[in-house]
A and B are shown apart, each in its own frame.
Chain A
Amino acid sequence: MTAPVAPVTALADGEWHRLHPASPLLRGGLVFIAVLGFVLANMRERLLDMFIIVFVPDTGDEFGERYDGWQNDWANDPVGAIVTNGQIGWALLAVAVVVVGVIVGFWMSWRMHTFRITRESVEVRSGILFRSHRSARLDRVQGVNINRPVFARLFGTAKLDVSVAGESGNVQLAYLGSALADGLRADILRLASGARAEKSRAAAPAERAMPDAAGAPLAEQAPGVAVGPTPASARVTAVVGRRVDEFLAPELDPSLAAPESVVHLSVARVVGSTLLGGTTIAIVVFVAIIVAGVAAGQEWVIISFIPAVIGLVGYLWSRITKSLRYSIAGTPDGVRIGHGLLSTANQTIPPGRVHAVEATQWILWRPFGWWSVRVNLAGQSASASSDAVQRTIVLPVGRVDDVRRVLALLLPDAQSVLDPVLGAGLTGRGAAGGFSTTPRRAAWLRPFSWRRIGWISSGGVVLFRRGALTRSLAVMPLARVQSVALARGPVRRMLRLASVRVHTLAGPVTVELPVADADEAAGLYERLAADAVVWAGADESHRWGAAREQQAEVVS
């Protein structure tokens, strides 16, 4: 069922390889060209005049008068001084040296930027004078992300990010050929899974001759070479056609995942859910303040609040565009989440890398039955970059069915446990679905949600249900528990209550039971502490492919 495939690319062979030749251009060259263009555009007039003076020396007095001030005025007008002092040759030489220097620099940095994928790690060497060598162990890989910014897509390239646990511990391969990046992702995850490559290679020797793999590392670098002596125009048309195809192709390759495991979002739901979010409320409040202020004759209100409204609208817009073309699919390598309209991005989370999952429903979403699902992952760290935040949102908005499917993808082992209790966990209260109940005295602390607060644990996961205004159901695999805490403040002690918190990696999800009967909480704490050890010991997901193969062998 895992269907380990033969290496899709020849890149994962343990040898050093280079990146796509357009990478220096994409990584900094575009900025350089833009700066150059800006300078030239601003100096156009001067340069034209300069050429007239140099090549048509007798252009009359007009110029002589206008450029009297050119003489030796280095500080104000270096170009003029160069021209009048007859140092144009040197100046051009200097410009040429700078340009050649930059180009050589880019070329050198491309030459020196190499990567290799061995059985143990992904390694990247870079730098001309100051060499850096960074390696990520494959069994610590937390996910592989592929980003395709608009410009990179124009060049048919993609950025590959191997995320490992820890602050800024990511290994980035920018940029690779678009198709190669997908193949390489599959290769990295296959190696990381510990599945024995010899076996899969032997199993599918024919597939190695696939046209995709034929070009090996240089396929994308020199598209013309493989095609042979075809006319240049045909080649250009072919390349353009391929780019257009790539642009129009669906974000998720249909052959990659079984269609029934794919969750899509409709545009209407994305727009509607975003408009019903907290940001819209903030905008409405701000607009009301502005209107009230203007009505009261306080014009300063406009100046102070309109920038905030513009910012919020921009944020809304980016939320919507990022959520467009969203898809979540189960692939053999893990859960693949893709999104984006012009700049696309997708991430693949291998099995066992999900530390905690939470489905939440804001009160305004309740009439529509919408939920959003967020996860805690290692490798995102606590950095508040919008990229990292985006990556933790697994399902921006979906119905209960979608939540069910996403949970099944994220925690496949717990599916049989989750399915029967999910409905009670999401919307139920009291003892429905086998959840624990909270004594009535907890209403002093949680007046609205005390009936909903409860937990259930079986089959290697623990579920915490809470929240009335914002309903929340947190699911945590016990194999990922870092530690368990039991806390009792003075008020809780008076009410014979206690809270239990399961510590997980930094992320949007907090796994906590805010109030519970003191004895029950103590029991839960002991039980979770013991279960955490047992399930962590039984966990084999750091080499998930090897574990699956073992299971298959045992079965057969």
Chain B
Amino acid sequence: MPDRPEAAEVPEAAPGSEVPATPETVAVPDGGPAPDDVPALETLPDAGPAPASDGLESFDPASSASTPSANAPEHPVPIDEDWRRVSPKYVVVEVVGSLIGMVVFVAAFLVAYFWFEWWWALWAAVAIGVVSLVGIAFEPRRVRSIGYRLRADDLLFRRGIMYQRQVAVPYGRMQLVDVTRGPVARALGLADLKFVTAAAATAVTVPGLPLDDAERLRDELVALAETRRAGL
């Protein structure tokens, strides 16, 4: 997962930074849930629950007192001060998906053009090709717009450049957390993390997380959901 300092420099060199990003990605989980070496996280101790996350139990009355909700003093997940982005490699997954869709449609229209000699099919194929390529050109920007953020009591998720959408899911409302992997994502070592609440409209899927991160996050969030659970 691209951590915050790295994400700041990603924008102009998304494909190039892929290879160096990988070792760093591995390093973040090793550094524990609250990496001390990240300057942006230095405000974390003030957030209360974060210091307790190493031991998963809060023995410090001061930290639990500063927690807004008294029912969950321990917080197994570090609170994010800023948005976290998904792996830049996820661009590849999106591009491959778009390309496959484009090839299928263009081929179908070309077949229609050559076989049945429908002249408009050629123009349709060209139009689809152009639109898809423009879409693909915006793909890195779109992937960069995907972000998530763990707060004390809920998870924020946002995505989209044209149609921006931002969702807040309280931890106690998560009914299950799902890790899914498509073939391309698997080749790149990525996974999608899907959150299911009792409402179908929630539809929050964080795509393109490194597998280790996704699984760790899933376990942490499930544990968190368990402590916060309150009926439906």
Contacts and interface: CB of A to CB of B under 8 A. Distances in A.
Given A488-B164, A541-B231, A482 B202 contact: yes
B204 A483 contact: yes
A488 B167 CA distance: 12
B165 A542 contact: no
Interface string B164-184: 111111101100000000000
Interface string A523-549: 001001110111011010110000000
A170 to B, nearest CB: 15
Contacts of B201: 483, 485, 501, 503-504
A408 interface: no
A481 interface: yes
Of B200, B230, B232, most buried by chain A (CB within 10 Å of CB) is B232
A501 B228 CA distance: 23
B66 interface: no
Contact of B168 (A479, A493, A529): A529
A537 B69 contact: yes
A425 to B, nearest CB: 23
B172 A536 contact: yes
B135 to A, nearest CB: 15
Interface residues of A, number: 38
Contacts of B231: 139-140, 352, 539, 541-542
Contacts of B156: 529
Contacts of B163: 487-490
B173 A486 contact: no
B134 interface: no
B198 interface: yes
Contacts of A487: 163-166
Nearest to B153: A533
Given A483-B204, A485-B167, A525-B168, A505 B230 contact: no
A378 interface: yes
A538 to B, nearest CB: 9
Contact of A165 (B167, B170, B202, B232): B232
A47 interface: no
Contacts of B200: 382, 506
A79 interface: no
B170 A529 contact: yes
B154 A542 contact: no
Contacts of B8: none
A215 B170 CA distance: 49
B198 A529 contact: no
Interface residues of B, number: 28
Nearest to A536: B230
Interface in B138-178: 153-154, 156, 162-170, 172-173
Given A489-B162, A529-B154, A503 B170 contact: no
B165 A485 contact: yes
A519 to B, nearest CB: 14
Given A487-B165, A525-B166, A536 B198 contact: no
A99 B109 CA distance: 64
Interface in B179-201: 197-201
A490 B69 contact: no
A483 B202 contact: yes
Contacts of B232: 140, 142, 165, 355, 378, 480, 505
Contacts of B168: 483-485, 525, 528-529, 532
B219 to A, nearest CB: 21
A483 B71 contact: no
B169 A483 contact: yes
Contacts of B165: 485-488
A458 to B, nearest CB: 19
A351 to B, nearest CB: 12
A479 B230 CA distance: 9
Interface string A256-269: 00000000000000
Contacts of A532: 154, 168, 170, 173
Nearest to B202: A483
Of A352, A482, A483, A487, most buried by chain B (CB within 10 Å of CB) is A483
A355 B231 CA distance: 12
A352 B68 CA distance: 24
Interface string B18-39: 0000000000000000000000
Contacts of A485: 165-168, 201-202
Contacts of B164: 487-489, 493
A493 B164 CA distance: 9
Contacts of A484: 167-168
A536 B173 contact: yes
Interface in A464-519: 479-490, 493, 501, 503-506
Nearest to B151: A529
Contact of B71 (A355, A528, A537): A537
Nearest to A480: B232
Contact of A503 (B153, B162, B202): B202
A307 to B, nearest CB: 34
Contacts of A378: 198, 232
B154 A503 contact: no
Nearest to A543: B231
A476 to B, nearest CB: 11
Given A485-B165, A487-B163, A534-B69, A504 B199 contact: yes
A480 B197 CA distance: 12
A548 to B, nearest CB: 16
Contact of B230 (A382, A489, A525, A539): A539
Nearest to A382: B200
B96 to A, nearest CB: 27
A493 to B, nearest CB: 8
A536 B227 CA distance: 13
15 contacts: A482-B199, A484-B168, A490-B162, A490-B163, A501-B201, A503-B197, A504-B201, A505-B232, A506-B200, A528-B168, A530-B153, A536-B172, A537-B69, A537-B71, A537-B228
Interface of B: 68-69, 71, 153-154, 156, 162-170, 172-173, 197-202, 204, 228, 230-232
Given A139-B231, A486-B165, A503-B199, 16 more contacts: A140-B232, A165-B232, A378-B198, A479-B230, A481-B170, A483-B169, A485-B165, A485-B166, A485-B202, A488-B163, A488-B165, A503-B197, A533-B153, A537-B69, A537-B228, A537-B230
